[in-house]
Amino acid sequence: MSSKGEIIGAEARPKKKLAVVTCMDTRLVNFLNEKMGLERGDAKVIKNAGNIITEDALRSLVVAIYCLGAEKIAIVGHTDCGMAGADTAEIKKEMIRRGANPYFTTDFDAWIGKMDDEEENVKRGVELVKNHPAIPKDVEVEGLIIDIVTGEITKLV
Ligand SMILES: [Zn+2]
């Protein structure tokens, strides 16, 4: 436990000292890792709808950094994300139709992670992570976007 990354066994640590936050989009399965050159054992991958930096994403990043030796974070959005411009009014209507209650939270749009633009969302995520009090300043944070069709990856920040 003398230096960072020695709390959990070596097998679980990401070989590339990388943690990725990306979208749960089905088209990224076996695609993003290939395009990023990631193999089994290389990186921690945190996924959610719209690669939003939620409290839970931050929690996983903190574990990746302090327990698993991650030194670099990549937030990876993608083109044609379903969360961009998601019709939250429609989601709420459907919830009600199916007997659920969307009013359990005062701000459903924020809770669901409504966003308007994939690139802006990635940039916002990078700022959030960089400025979060739990994230050390020696961790590198970058924002990328992958073209969901061609797989071309562009660095945004
Ligand atoms: Zn998406």
What is the whole-number distance in angstroms between the Cα of residue 79 and the centre of ligand 1?
8
Q: Which two tokens stand for residue 45?
A: 């991958």
Do 20 and 36 contact (CB within 8 A), yes or no? Answer: yes
- pTM of the predicted structure, to 2 decimals: 0.92
Do 1 and 7 contact (CB within 8 A), yes or no? Answer: yes
Distance (Å, whole) CA 50 – CA 76: 10
pLDDT at residue 1 in the model: 46
pLDDT in tens, 60-118: 999 999 999 999 999 999 999 999 989 999 999 999 999 999 999 999 999 999 999 99
Residue 11: pLDDT band with limits 50, 70, 90: confident
What is the whole-number distance in angstroms between the Cα of residue 94 and the centre of ligand 1?
20
What is the whole-number distance in angstroms between the Cα of residue 12 and the centre of ligand 1?
27
- Which residues, at least 6 apart from 58, have a Cβ–Cβ distance to it below 8 Å? 129, 132, 134, 135
What is the whole-number distance in angstroms between the Cα of residue 2 and the centre of ligand 1?
39
Q: What is the mean pLDDT of residues 123-150?
A: 98
